[in-house]
Structures are given as C-alpha cells and as structure tokens.
Structure 1
Amino acid sequence: MLLSSLFLIGNFGTTEILLIVVAIILLFGAKRIPELFRGMGQGIREFKDASKEEKPEFRDRPVNPNDSNQPR
C-alpha cells in the first residue's frame, strides 16, 4: 500500500496543479510570488555556476608515485 502510494506522488493532473497554485497564492499573496521565484532562480543559477567552475586544486594535484593506477 505504501509503496504504491509513493509511485502516485508524481502523477499530477491539471486539477491538482491548479489547487497547488491557488494554495501558494493564498499563502504568500500575489505580490510576493515573483520575489520567491526570482530568489529560487538566482539560487539555482549560482549552484550551476559553482558546479561548472574548474577547481584548480583537482587540476594541479601532485601525482603520488606510489599510486597503483599509474602506468609503468
């Protein structure tokens, strides 16, 4: 029973989505919603930018001569 209900979580129809949108509008108000989504977008953008940065500590890492993965 529990396992089958977990699979149904992702099946949202039009009615469910509209109810969620109405609930969000009632909770936060129509004026505050753009600010919330703008903040979420900036957070996602910063996360993506940080994950794309090349990390110099990994690129210029010294090689251990005792490493077994080294070619001989």
Structure 2
Amino acid sequence: MERSDKVLTRARLLQEVWNYKFVSQTNLVDVHMGRLRRKVDGVNEPPMIRSVRGAGFVLNVNPLSRDELLEG
C-alpha cells in the first residue's frame, strides 16, 4: 500500500519481502501474487493487482474498470 500505483519489480519484491540478496530464477513471486489476487479480487470486481509485462506488478488503490483495462 505504501507504493500503490508504482511498479514493483520481481527482484525488488524478492529483496524486500523474502530478504533475497540475489535475483534467482524462480516463480516464487508469481505464485504468491496469484494467491494474493484470488484473495483480494472479487469475481465481478476490477483487479487490484496488475501485471506489468516484463517489469513486475502494480497495486492500484483505485482499480481500473474492466472496460478501461481493455482500452489500455
């Protein structure tokens, strides 16, 4: 929540959440983001956590509507 609307890279998340001192070739972040999404996103609600291809993830305090996601 402190960094809402800012892209967090997988490497940064590994460092700050799991205290990894190196960037490993793991899908740990992706697995946990998937689990977190299932917990915070409702069935007919816009997603709060977005993937940014090739960069990382963004937490949106005011999530985009599904229509806005399709437009962008």
Larger Cα Rg: Structure 1 or Structure 2? 1
Query: Could you state the TM-score of these two structures normalised by the residue count of structure 2?
Result: 0.31
Query: Could you state the TM-score of these two structures normalised by the residue count of structure 1?
Result: 0.31
